[in-house]
């Protein structure tokens, strides 16, 4: 094949990627739209699912913002000290993302629970999920469930590959309870197994409770 033709073809591909790739990445990284009654689109089911995991939205997830979504959102806003106007704007989204999960995030939460605590009691499994949610709400940690879980050296199971295991039904239920606010750890941000922990730093943290093989701390 002619070298000039190959060079020209590569140049065309690069231009195409520069022209269309950046807007696509920007769109994927865009903030959720401001939503109110009558809104529709992909951000609506995200909103509904997050409200559903917290127990506010008790019907099927759709792509339309109707009266049931309005009522659910206003209850959430009121309980979290937001303007109870039924509009999902910037502040509402920011708060919601720190205390809830969408479908993909719930999958990740169930995976880390299963990987880290599948041999523990149900309470012990919820406790691991609660630590993730507590970190999400705390300063000094990443701002999304995925980033909290996959932060380098945060969880042993991510590093050793157990995070890739398929979670069971119990792990999903524990994830849902953790998202809804069930926290048997009393606000813990860390946990460790005292039988194998060698870090002086983790032993220096204030302990809140011991559940199964794990000690939880702040």
Q: Cβ(89)–Cβ(39) under 8 Å?
A: no
**What CA–CA distance (Å, rounded) separates 164 from 1?**
44
Q: Distances in Å between the alpha carbon of 9 and those of 3, 16, 23?
A: 10, 11, 22
8 A C-beta contact, residue 183 and residue 125: no
pLDDT in tens, the chain (218 residues): 554 444 444 444 344 334 444 333 333 446 789 999 999 999 999 999 999 999 999 999 999 999 999 999 999 999 999 999 999 999 999 999 999 999 999 999 999 999 999 999 999 999 999 999 999 999 999 999 999 999 999 999 999 999 999 999 999 999 999 998 999 999 999 999 999 998 999 999 999 999 999 999 99
DSSP 18: I
* Residue 111 burial class via C-beta count within 10 angstroms: exposed 0-12, middle 13-18, buried 19 and up: buried
**What is residue 69's three-state secondary structure?**
helix
Contact 53, 104 (CB under 8 A): no
pLDDT in tens, 76-98: 999 999 999 999 999 999 999 99
Nearest CA among 99, 92, 103 for reference residue 69 = 92
For residue range 169-206, what is the model confidence (pLDDT) as tens digits? Answer: 999 999 999 998 999 999 999 999 999 998 999 999 99
Residue recorded with tokens 């109870």: 84
């Amino acid at each position: 094949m002619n070298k000039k033709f190959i060079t020209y073809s590569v140049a065309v591909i690069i231009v195409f990627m520069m022209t269309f790739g950046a807007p696509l990445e920007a769109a994927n990284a865009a903030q959720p739209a401001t939503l109110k009654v009558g809104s529709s689109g992909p951000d609506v089911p995200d909103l509904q699912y997050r409200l559903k995991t917290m127990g506010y939205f008790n019907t099927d997830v759709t792509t339309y913002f109707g009266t049931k979504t309005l009522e659910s959102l206003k209850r959430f806003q009121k309980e979290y000290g937001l303007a109870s106007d039924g509009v999902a704007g910037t502040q509402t989204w920011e708060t919601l993302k720190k205390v809830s999960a969408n479908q993909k995030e719930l999958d990740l939460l169930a995976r880390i629970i299963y990987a880290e605590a599948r041999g523990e009691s149900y309470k012990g499994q919820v406790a691991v999920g609660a630590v993730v949610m507590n970190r999400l709400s705390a300063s000094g940690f990443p701002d999304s469930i995925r980033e909290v879980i996959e932060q380098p050296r945060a969880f042993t199971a991510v590093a050793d590959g157990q995070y890739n295991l398929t979670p069971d039904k119990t792990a999903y239920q524990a994830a849902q309870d953790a998202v809804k606010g069930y926290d048997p750890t009393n606000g813990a941000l860390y946990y460790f197994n005292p039988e194998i922990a060698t870090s002086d730093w983790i032993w220096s943290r204030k302990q809140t409770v011991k559940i199964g093989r794990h000690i939880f701390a702040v």
